[in-house]
Amino acid sequence: MAIWLTKQRAQTGPVFGSVDRFEGLGVFIDTYKNGRPGVVFPYVMAMQGNESVTYDKDHDGKENELGGCS
């Protein structure tokens, strides 16, 4: 599940239902652990996108995270 505050509106894609390279803020509620040791799930995190950064789903977005909590 995600909350999107982005320039692009209502575009579907692979990142919690929206486009990967977005401009704005995404707040993600992740319930499935892909590959992030030391983190308890479900996990809530925020990511800022600038249209060139991609979400790394294999590591649950760790590289792009602004902040998060369990």
Sheet order of strands, 65-69 included: 2-6, 23-30, 43-50, 65-69
Label residue 34 by pLDDT band (50, 70, 90): confident
Decide: 25 and 56 in contact? Cβ < 8 Å.
Answer: no
What pTM did the predictor assign? 0.84
Residue 12 to residues 26, 47, 51, 57, 67: CA-CA distances in angstroms? Answer: 14, 17, 15, 16, 24
For residue 28, give the nearest of 36, 38, 18 by alpha carbon. Answer: 18
- Percentage of the chain lying above the pLDDT 70 cut: 100
Among candidate residues 31, 18, 17, 15, the one with its CA nearest the CA of residue 64: 15
